[in-house]
Amino acid sequence: MKKIILILLASIFHQYLFSQENFKKRYNLMPWPQNISENNSSFKINESLTISISGEDSENRVKNASVQFLRRLSNRTGVFINNGFPVKDNIAPIQLRFESVSNLKVNSNETYAIEVKENNILIKATTDVGVLRGLETLLQLVNFNKEGYYFEGVVIKDAPRFLWRGLMIDVSRHFQPISVLKRNLDAMASVKLNVFHWHLTDDQGFRVASKTYPKLQKFASDGLFYTHEQIKEVVAYASNLGIRVIPEFDVPGHATAILTAYPELGSKKNYDYKVERFSGVFDPTLNPILEDTYTFLENLFTEIAPLFPDEYFHIGGDENEGKHWDENKEIQAFKKENGLKTNHELQTYFNIKLEKILKKLGKKLMGWDEILTPSTPTTAVIHSWRGKQEGLAQSTLIEAAKKGYQTVLSNGFYIDRMLSVKHHYLQDPIGNEKLTKEERSRILGAEATMWSELVTPTTIDSRIWPRTAAIAERFWSSKEIRDLDDMLRRLKVVNTNLEELGINHIRNTDYILRNIAKDNDIEALKVLSKICEPLKIYSRNKGGTEYKTFSPFTLFADACVVDAEDAIIFNENVTDYLLNEDNINLKEIIYYLEIWSENHEKFTKINKNPISNSLAPLSNNLSKISTILLRSINKKNISKTDLNKAKELNNKLQNPIEDVELVVTESFDKLIKLCEKKFL
C-alpha cells in the first residue's frame, strides 16, 4: 500500500511539473513576473473595450500610457476600438487604480497587480508608474484563436528585483538624433527598464549646447549637439514613460573634445588638440591643478545640471592613464607637495572637488569604478564596469558595496562587445556573493551599455535589441528565472513586437543588404547574413581597417547580428543529431545544406561591386563544402578527395572575412568527422 501511495504521489508530482511547464509556455511575458497564476477565464477584445483611470494623474502618465496602449492594441489585433481614449466611467472593462504620482526617485515604487477576468480587468498599483508597468504586461497577455483576440485570464503580482535598471547610450562617438532616443525609450519602457544613462561627452564630441561656453558646440561637436530645449524634450518624454535620465560628462580623461574648444584647460601645453576621429583611449586630460578647470566645470555644471531633474550626475572618470600628467612638471610638483603618490590619488583629489561642486547643485556624484579609492566619499555612487576578466579579484560592484558605497553594475552587460544573448542572460548582477542585508541594499541595480564606436542611427537598434530585452529580465525578474530555452522562445515574440514601437532592427538589415546589392534582390546576401556574425569583443576594430567616426557603417558586418538565426538552428540540429541520429534533425540539416549549396549561383547574379566581390570567397566556399556534405550524407559515402577538400574548405571558412565570422564551421567540422567515421 505504501508503495502504491508513493507511485501515486510521484505521478501527481510529475503531472504538476508537466502542467507548470505547459502553463509557462502559454505566455510570452518578458520580464517574467514575480508571481503569476491562471484563473481559467479570458477577456475578449472587441470594439467596445474602454479604460478608466482611478487616481490623481497629475503628470498625465497614465492617460498617455492608456492612449498608447489602445493604439498598440488596435494595431496588433486589427480591432476597431470605438473609444481610443480613457473614459470617466468607473465601470469600464479595464480599470486602472493607483494611489500616488511617482517622483521618479531611485527608490520609487513600481509594484503592480493584474487580475484578468471574463468581464473586467483590474490593474492596481501604488504609483502611476506601477500602472505603466502593468499595462506593458497586459499587452503581452494578448492572444488569439480563430474566433478573435483576447487577454489571457491570469492573476499577477509583480515587483522589480532591482531598483535601477538601465540602458546607457553613447552619443559622442556617433551622434544619435532625438528620434532614435525616443524610439529606444519606448522600447525600454516596454521591458520595464527605468534609467536612461545618456553618455554625452567623450573624445569624439561634446553633444550639449552651452550658453556659458559656446566654443563647445562650435569646435567640439561637428555641429551635432542637443539644444537645451531638446534635452528637456527627451527628459520629459522619458519621464512620461517612468524613466529617469542620468547625464554623463566624462572627465578628467576622455576630454579631447572639451580641450579642442578650451585647450588652456589641458594638462599638456602647446598641444594641438583636435576632436578625435578614431576609437580607443587617448592622452588629452583636464589639468587637475588649475583653478580655472574647476571654475569651468562649476559654471558648466551649474548651467547644465538643471536640465536633468534626477539627483544623480555621472562624471565618468574612467580610463585616465595620466600620460599628460606624468609629462607635466608642475603637476608632478603639485603631487609631491600634497602627498599624492599616484595619478589615481590625484584623480581622487579632482573627484572630491567635483563632488563638492555637484553637492551644491543638489546632485550626487556617480562615476565609473576607477573613482573607487580610500579617499572617495561614500556619498559617491560607484558604476562597476570591471571584473575578473580585467584582472581584478572580484567585481568592483561587490567591493564597493562592502565598503559602504551605493553601486550599479555594467560588467557583463556590455552589449557593444557583440556577445550572445545567452552570455548576458546568464550573468547575475550579484552572483553567489554572500552579502549582509545592508550591503545588498547598496547594490541599486545594473545597466546595459551601448558604446557607439561602431554603431550609427541606422544600426544602433540592431545592436541594442533584442538582447537588451533578455537583459531587462535579468534586472527585473527573480534570480531563479534562468531557463534559456524558454527565454529564447519568449524573446522571439518580443523581438517582433518591438517593431510596433518603431525599433528598426529587423527592417534596416534589408536596407543595408540592398545597398550592398544595388538591387532589391537580396536573397543570396540574406542567406549569408543569417549564418554570419560581426566579430566580437572589439576585434572588428583591430588588426584590419581601423574605423573612424565617419567611416562607412553600411557594410556586410553591419547587416549581420549577434545570434545569427539560421546558424543557431543548424548548430542545434547537428548537436542533437549526433546524440540521436534521428530523421527529424537529419532532414533539417539537409534542408540547410541544400540552401547553402545552391546559394552561390544566386550570389553570382548580384550586381558586381567591390563590397559584394569581397564576399564571393565566403559564398563560394560555403557552397562547395555544403555540396560535399550533402552528397556524402545522401549517398552515405565520402571519397578521400572529398573528405580532404571539405577539411580544406572549412579551414578557410574559419578565417574571418569582411569583419564577420561564419558561425557554422564548428558544426561543419562535426559533420566532416561523422562522414569520415561512417562513410569513408
User: CA 93, CA 52: separation in Å to the nearest integer?
Assistant: 8
**319 in active site:** yes
Model pLDDT for residues 435-485, shown as the tens digit of each residue? 999 999 999 999 999 999 999 999 999 999 999 999 999 999 999 999 999
Please report, for the chain, the start and end positions of each structural domain, with discontinuous segments joined by +.
2-158, 165-506, 509-678
How would you write 565-626 as a 3-class SS string? HHHHHHHHHHHHHHHHCCHHHHHHHHHHHHHHHHHHHHHCCCCCCHHHHHCHHHHHHHHHHH
Q: How far apart are CA 542 and CA 536, in angstroms?
A: 11
* Cβ-Cβ contacts under 8 Å for 647 (sequence gap 6 or more): 672
Checking if the pLDDT of 23 tops 90, the result is no
Indicate the pLDDT class of residue 14, thresholds 50, 70 and 90: low
Closest by CA to 76, choosing from 187, 134, 131, 150, is 150
Sign of the four-CA dihedral 354, 168, 180, 176: positive
CA distances for 107 relative to 127, 405, 472, angstroms? 12, 16, 18
Burial of 9 (0-12, 13-18, 19+ CB in 10 A): exposed
User: Cβ–Cβ contacts within 10 Å for residue 374, how many?
Assistant: 7
| DSSP code per residue over 141-186 | TEEEETTEEEEEEEEEEE--S-SEEEEEEE-SSS---HHHHHHHHH
Neighbouring-strand partners of residue 95:
52, 122
Name the burial class of residue 82, with classes exposed (0-12), middle (13-18) and buried (19+) by CB atoms within 10 angstroms of its CB: exposed
Average pLDDT on 263-290 reads: 97
Residue 11 is predicted with a pLDDT of: 62
State residue 565's pLDDT score: 97
Tell me what the pLDDT averaged over the chain comes to: 95
Q: Which percentage of the chain shows pLDDT scores above 90? A: 92
pLDDT category at 342 given cuts 50, 70, 90 is: very high
Supply the pLDDT for residue 8.
Answer: 67
Q: Cα separation of 286 and 302, whole Å?
A: 18
CATH: 3.30.379.10, 3.20.20.70, 3.30.1340.10, 3.90.180.10. Which one for 2-158? 3.30.379.10
DSSP state at residue 91: T
More confident residue, 389 or 63: 63
- Alpha-carbon distance of 251 to 244, in angstroms, equals 22
Position 17 scores a pLDDT of 47
CATH placement of domain 165-506:
3.20.20.80
Specify whether the CB–CB gap between 277 and 249 falls below 8 A. no
pLDDT, mean of residues 336-364: 97
Closest among 233, 183, 288, 261 to 508, alpha carbons compared: 183
Q: Is the pLDDT of residue 313 over 90?
A: yes
> Sorting pLDDT into bands at 50, 70 and 90, what band is 91?
confident
What is the C-alpha separation between 77 and 74, in angstroms, rounded?
5
Long-range contacts of 298-304 (CB under 8 A, 24+ apart): 298/357, 299/212, 299/213, 300/210, 300/212, 300/213, 300/249, 301/249, 301/357, 301/358, 301/361, 301/363, 302/361, 303/210, 303/211, 303/212, 304/208, 304/210, 304/247, 304/249
Asked if 516 and 532 touch (Cβ cutoff 8 Å), the reply is: no
Contacts (Cβ under 8 Å, ≥6 apart) of 130 = 98, 102, 109, 110, 111, 112
How close are the terminal C-alpha atoms of the chain, in Å? 58
Enter the pTM of the model: 0.95
Q: Which amino acid does the sequence have at 324? A: H
Residue 544's pLDDT is what? 65
Q: CA 670, CA 680: separation in Å to the nearest integer?
A: 15
Burial class (CB in 10 A: 0-12, 13-18, 19+), 422: middle
Catalytic residue among 99, 319, 588, 666: 319
Residue 12 has pLDDT above 70, yes or no: no
Condensed to tens digits (0 to 9), the pLDDT of residues 136-174 reads 999 999 999 999 999 999 999 999 999 999 999 999 999
